[in-house]
């Protein structure tokens, strides 16, 4: 194995060992980041569970309050309704015991009917609706008697049939009355209150010992019934005063009375969300259905010590998402730093190679001259030209490194002064000319005089040198590099065109980053440090200018940069051998 092969193998081994150590150093902080993210996620999950448990406990407590309020309302409304309806029917109870024909069916009808009493009957029924009736159990519907605003015959038939069926099948022992929601009449569902009585049957003018069963009833006015339900809410105590702070019931709870068919008979707070509703079934004596009560959402927090727990799900999700995003950014930053470290390694290797090659050439030709191995003046001149070329290349590389180092540290200061870009470009081309014979290229430039801008001369020359060096490196052998210039109302521009491989669209911003080379350039044998274009970008940014790359008109790439303009002038045409007189052109 040759010494060069051993050196390459050793370099690969060292790099492999360095890569392994770098991967280990990178994996440790990544592991810590992922662990911290897991801990944050676990903490967020526990906080979410605690919040949900708190919310469920508070909701359960409010539901208990609501259920107690519904139960209290149901019990209280039972008493109030019983007193109201029983008061209507009490006269019927009393008159069944009257003797000597005082308890006539007609009188009872008038007692139960709405409106003012007449014909010796004491009063009308305050809850009564449009009509009242009585019928005997088992008697045909046609034999029933009615008072008040009489409904249609079909309505009478359905009501009497429903009452008789309910009295036979559902009327409970000991019930003083019953309420029935009569279905089968479309949207009109009347509420009927009735009582079942045993009455002596009239025979001639005297009461006989034979008794029959009669049903006295009346339609309940839904508006008056709603007033009774409202009075229960406003006039009775449904929750302990210590809990409500002596506020009225309607400021603390909302109530719905729902019939067996789902219709709402009474609602204390229409449109209010019954968030903690707890239904309680109504007594069958009132026709079934349910009472729904709920603590009002506006005061729910005041009934719980510390108030209702606020929903923190969004905040917890945001915190966890932020932690995850920061962890991802940290991992990406570590990866970027790792990639940057690799690029720096490549940069050091490339710079070392670029330094070693010209130094070796300088040393070789210096020894050749020192030992007198040149045979004639032409060979001596050729050796001196080679030393000059390699020295210029070294100088350009060192200048790039110094510019880049100062920019990285933020200590680069550029003292600017007005100058003509044409002069600076011309001097840069003259300085670069010794490097052209190596690639057998030529430079043709047409830069108008008077492209005056406020610049740091040495830095702008470095920009031009870097762009020319880039054109020589990545252009074809024997190409013509064209340098042009122009002026607009507010800027002066310099263009450098090559005849090389060009730059793809997706790489045109990335190649100005430090240590970045285009994919096409990486695959070539051309060696580069990766900081030349980065130095160009840094210098122009410090001059309030900009640089970009696009396709050249004759193929290859065109690198252009702009600087703020000061005034206009004339143009001078010159090629790589020097200025060519007589070819000035006006510039707008």
Please state, in angstroms and as integers, the Cα–Cα distance from residue 247 to each residue in 59, 122, 296, following that order.
21, 41, 13
Q: Is the Cβ–Cβ distance between 33 and 246 less than 8 Å?
A: no
pLDDT for the residue 519: 61
pLDDT for the residue 55: 78
DSSP per-residue string spanning 308-366: PPP--HHHHHHHHHHHHHHHHHHHHHHHHHHHHHHHHHHHHHHHHHHHHHHHHHHHHHH
- Residue 561 phi/psi, 5° resolution? -140, 150
The dihedral through the CA atoms of 191, 196, 199, 202 has a sign that is positive
What angle (nearest 5°) sits at the alpha carbon of residue 371, between those of residues 367 and 375? Answer: 105
Q: Is the Cβ–Cβ distance between 495 and 481 less than 8 Å?
A: no
pLDDT for the residue 20: 56
- Distance in angstroms (rounded) separating the CA atoms of residues 149 and 359: 124
- Residue 138 phi/psi, 5° resolution? 85, -5
- Distance in angstroms (rounded) separating the CA atoms of residues 511 and 473: 15
Structure tokens at 454: 């406020």
- Distance in angstroms (rounded) separating the CA atoms of residues 113 and 128: 6
pLDDT by residue for the chain (588 residues), tens only, comes to 444 444 444 444 445 545 555 566 667 777 777 777 777 778 778 877 887 888 788 888 888 888 898 899 888 888 888 887 876 666 555 554 433 233 445 555 555 555 444 433 444 456 778 888 888 887 888 888 888 788 888 899 999 999 999 988 888 888 888 889 988 777 678 898 888 877 555 444 444 444 567 888 888 888 888 888 888 888 888 888 888 888 888 888 889 999 888 888 899 888 888 888 888 998 888 888 899 988 888 887 777 776 667 777 777 778 778 877 877 887 788 777 777 777 677 666 666 666 776 777 778 778 878 877 777 878 788 778 778 777 877 777 777 777 766 666 665 667 788 999 999 999 889 888 877 777 678 899 989 888 999 998 888 988 998 899 888 888 888 899 999 999 888 899 999 999 988 888 888 888 888 767 666 555 554 555 667 888 888 889 888 999 999 999 888 899 999 999 886 444 444 444 444 333 333 222
DSSP 236: S
- Distance in angstroms (rounded) separating the CA atoms of residues 249 and 72: 12
- Distance in angstroms (rounded) separating the CA atoms of residues 287 and 172: 12
Taking the chain, what is the end-to-end CA distance rounded to the nearest angstrom?
66
Structure tokens at 186: 């479309």
Q: Which domains does the chain have, with CATH numbers?
A: 22-311 (no CATH), 399-586 (3.30.565.10)
- Distance in angstroms (rounded) separating the CA atoms of residues 284 and 27: 74
pLDDT for the residue 493: 93
Instruction: Measure CA 14 to chain center.
Output: 48
3-state secondary structure labels for all residues of 286-317: HCCCEEEEEECHHHHHHHCCCCCCCCCHHHHH
| 538: CB partners within 8 A, 6+ apart | 403, 404, 407, 412
- Distance in angstroms (rounded) separating the CA atoms of residues 405 and 351: 14
Structure tokens at 57: 């406990």
Judging by DSSP bridges, how do beta strands 480-487 and 442-448 pair with one another? parallel
Q: Is the Cβ–Cβ distance between 101 and 117 less than 8 Å?
A: no
């Amino acid at each position: 194995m040759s010494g060069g092969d051993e050196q390459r193998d050793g370099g690969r081994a060292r790099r492999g060992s360095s890569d392994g150590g770098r991967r280990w150093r990178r994996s440790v902080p990544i592991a810590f980041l992922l662990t911290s993210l897991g801990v944050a996620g676990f903490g967020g999950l526990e906080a979410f569970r605690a919040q949900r448990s708190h919310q469920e406990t508070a909701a359960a407590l409010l539901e208990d309050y609501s259920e107690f309020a519904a139960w209290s309302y149901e019990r209280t409304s039972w008493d109030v309704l019983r007193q109201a309806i029983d008061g209507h029917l009490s006269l019927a109870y009393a008159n069944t015991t009257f003797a000597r024909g005082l308890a006539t069916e007609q009188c009872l009808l008038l007692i139960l009917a709405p409106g003012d009493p007449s014909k010796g009957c004491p009063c009308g029924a305050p809850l009564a609706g449009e009509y009242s009736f009585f019928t005997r159990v088992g008697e045909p519907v046609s034999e029933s008697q009615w008072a008040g605003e009489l409904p249609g015959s079909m309505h009478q038939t359905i009501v009497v049939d429903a009452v008789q069926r309910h009295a036979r099948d559902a009327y409970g022992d000991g019930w003083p009355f019953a309420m029935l929601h009569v279905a089968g009449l479309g949207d009109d569902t009347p509420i009927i209150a009735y009582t079942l009585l045993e009455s002596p049957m009239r025979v001639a003018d005297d009461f006989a010992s034979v008794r029959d069963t009669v049903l006295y009833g009346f339609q309940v006015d839904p508006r008056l019934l709603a007033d009774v339900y409202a009075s229960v809410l406003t006039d009775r105590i449904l929750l302990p005063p210590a809990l409500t702070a002596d506020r009225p019931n309607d400021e603390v709870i909302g109530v719905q009375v729902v019939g067996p068919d789902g219709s709402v008979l009474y609602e204390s707070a229409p449109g209010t969300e019954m968030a903690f509703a707890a239904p309680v079934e109504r007594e069958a004596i009132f026709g079934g259905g349910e009472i729904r009560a709920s603590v009002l959402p506006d005061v729910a927090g005041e009934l719980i010590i510390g108030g209702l727990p606020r929903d923190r799900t969004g905040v917890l999700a945001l915190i966890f998402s932020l932690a995850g995003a920061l962890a991802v950014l940290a991992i990406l930053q570590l990866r970027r730093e790792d990639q940057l470290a690799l690029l720096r390694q490549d940069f050091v290797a490339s710079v070392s190679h670029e330094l070693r090659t010209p130094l070796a050439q300088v040393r070789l030709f210096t020894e050749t001259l020192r030992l007198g191995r040149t045979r004639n003046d032409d060979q001596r001149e050729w050796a001196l030209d080679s030393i000059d070329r390699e020295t210029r290349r070294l100088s350009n590389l060192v200048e790039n490194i110094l510019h880049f180092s100062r920019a990285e540290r933020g200590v680069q200061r550029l003292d600017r002064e007005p100058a003509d870009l044409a002069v600076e470009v011309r001097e840069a081309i003259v300085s670069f000319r010794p490097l052209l014979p190596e690639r057998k290229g030529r430079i043709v430039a047409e830069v108008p005089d008077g492209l005056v801008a406020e610049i740091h001369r040495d830095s702008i020359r470095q920009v031009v040198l870097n762009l020319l060096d880039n054109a020589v490196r990545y252009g074809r052998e024997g190409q013509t590099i064209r340098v042009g210039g122009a002026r607009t109302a507010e800027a002066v521009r310099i263009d450098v065109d090559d005849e090389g491989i060009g730059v793809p669209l997706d790489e045109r911003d990335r190649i100005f980053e430090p240590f970045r080379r285009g994919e096409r350039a990486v695959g070539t044998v051309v060696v580069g440090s990766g900081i030349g274009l980065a130095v160009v970008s840094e210098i122009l940014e410090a001059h309030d200018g900009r640089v970009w790359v696009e396709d050249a008109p004759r193929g290859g790439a065109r690198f252009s940069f702009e600087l703020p303009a000061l005034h206009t002038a004339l143009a001078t045409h010159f090629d790589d051998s020097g200025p060519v007189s007589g070819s000035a052109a006006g510039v707008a």
